[in-house]
Amino acid sequence: MLALTARRMGYRIATLDPDPSCPASPVSDLTLTASFDDSSALRRLAEASDVVTYEFENIPVESLRQIASCRSVFPDPSILHICQHRERERDFLKSSGFPAPRYSVVTSASELSEALKSFPGKTRLKSSAFGYDGKGQLPLDPKSDSIQAWEQIRVPRAVLEEHVPFIREISVLVARNAQGRSVTFPPFENRHVNGILERTIFPARIPDAIAKDAMDLAVRIAVKLGLVGLLAVELFELSDGRLLVNELAPRVHNSGHLTAEACPTSQFEQQIRAVCGLPLGDVSPLTPAVMFNLLGDLWKQGEPDWAPVLATPGASLHLYGKSEARPGRKMGHLTLRASSIREAIRLGSKTMNPIRQKAGLPPLLD
């Protein structure tokens, strides 16, 4: 989606990916098929590019640093170094004074046992690195078997976090350019199922004061990081109106996909504008919109029939061109625009539920 947007803006694209059939390859002028730590491929990518960016966090920081020695890389590799590792991310938030859940770092079953004693209620054990879509996480309580939990998570370092009784998950996307100007998308409201984003509602159904607090918090984090590019800030909204930072992602974000239809400037164009030194675009909502993720589970009986989806007023179907559908794998998304959020949700449920039924999946709930 970044490559398609860059193509529309007149740029040529070079892509590095281990998968020769990666979704960006059909629209790239140069596709380098190699691992993310292949020095030769990294050098070729740098030589072919004027500026380099990324949309995936599980990249060796040293690879980006190699490119940055001769080409501009945005966001800076130092930001990825913080955001791709939960322990460093939590330490950054704490040392910077940003609100986040209470946590403890553990490196063994015995340390986990001691850490559990300092939390009065439920907790969640999360791997320090390479966790996403709910992977590398275990829910625990003070009576949990620490040895069993440590064997199950199977990582050298982990973060034990307090359970947060949030009423809503929201996210904010902030873009910042090299001149220090920031533009923030209004907050997105997110619903997860089994740790994977099921839908995003835009704009989020939250009071204006909380929306302003969320946007201000995202900007302050971006400034502290020295961001040039795009940053997603995932937040928990508590019942008393407080916000806690859940995660940071220095890239385009799943919750922002609907901006392609719902805003004058999509998150993809905004990232390109930011990293290429162009003026940042307008992000005022054009329409209420709801996005539904399309996971590989829908392909259980083969390729779904998309004709009814495309016949739905206000529907925009995005399929990513991935070669293999697997349960839980994000294969695409559906965005519904309507006169109201309630109507967009109704249309989305009406459109998706026959497909879900055929795949043996429960219906979407409003």
CATH of the domain at 29: 3.40.50.20
Between CA 298 and CA 304 the distance in angstroms is 7
Between CA 67 and CA 156 the distance in angstroms is 29
The verdict on residue 23 lying in a domain is yes
Instruction: Provide the CB-side half-sphere exposure for 267 (13 A, CA).
Output: 24
Residue finishing a domain among 83, 115, 137: 83
**What is the token pair recorded at 312?**
């739905």
Residues 330 and 299 in one domain: yes
CATH of the domain at 348: 3.30.470.20
Judged against a pLDDT cut of 80, whether residue 123 lies above it is answered with: yes
The verdict on residue 220 lying in a domain is no
DSSP letter assigned to residue 267: H
Residues 107 and 77 in one domain: no
Predicted local confidence at residue 137, as pLDDT? 86
**Average pLDDT for 171-191:** 98
Residue finishing a domain among 49, 83, 117: 83
Pick from 95, 82, 85, 103: which is nearest to 159 by CA?
A: 103
Residues 15 and 75 in one domain: yes
Judged against a pLDDT cut of 80, whether residue 130 lies above it is answered with: no
Counted domains in the chain: 3
Predicted local confidence at residue 131, as pLDDT? 60
Question: What is the SS3 assignment for 276?
Answer: coil
- For the chain, the first-to-last Cα distance in angstroms comes to 28
DSSP letter assigned to residue 139: E
Share of the chain above pLDDT 90, in %: 93
**Average pLDDT for 320-333:** 94
Judged against a pLDDT cut of 80, whether residue 57 lies above it is answered with: yes
The verdict on residue 349 lying in a domain is yes
Between CA 349 and CA 345 the distance in angstroms is 6
Judged against a pLDDT cut of 90, whether residue 328 lies above it is answered with: yes
**Average pLDDT for 248-266:** 98
The verdict on residue 175 lying in a domain is no
172: number of Cβ within 10 Å: 28
CA dihedral 104, 196, 61, 184 (to 10 degrees): -90
Judged against a pLDDT cut of 90, whether residue 132 lies above it is answered with: no
Between CA 80 and CA 94 the distance in angstroms is 17
The verdict on residue 36 lying in a domain is yes
Tell me the residue length of the chain: 366
The verdict on residue 112 lying in a domain is yes
Instruction: Provide the CB-side half-sphere exposure for 73 (13 A, CA).
Output: 22
Tell me, what amino acid is at 51?
V
46: number of Cβ within 10 Å: 19
Residues 71 and 10 in one domain: yes
- ∠ CA 241-242-243, nearest 5°, is 120
Q: Please, which pLDDT band fits residue 366 given cuts at 50, 70 and 90?
A: confident
Q: Please, which pLDDT band fits residue 133 given cuts at 50, 70 and 90?
A: low
Instruction: Provide the CB-side half-sphere exposure for 13 (13 A, CA).
Output: 23
**Average pLDDT for 22-50:** 96
The verdict on residue 136 lying in a domain is yes
Residues 355 and 294 in one domain: yes
- Asked if 321 and 23 count as a contact pair (C-beta separation under 8 A), the reply is yes
CATH of the domain at 148: 3.30.1490.20
Residue finishing a domain among 27, 48, 83: 83
Judged against a pLDDT cut of 90, whether residue 136 lies above it is answered with: no
Share of the chain above pLDDT 70, in %: 98
Residues 69 and 8 in one domain: yes
Predicted local confidence at residue 195, as pLDDT? 86
Q: Which residues pair with 342 in a beta bridge?
A: none
DSSP run (H or E) holding 160: strand 158-162
Domain that holds residue 313: 288-366
The verdict on residue 216 lying in a domain is no
173: number of Cβ within 10 Å: 28
Place of tokens 């015995």: 110
Average per-residue pLDDT for the chain: 95
Predicted local confidence at residue 134, as pLDDT? 57
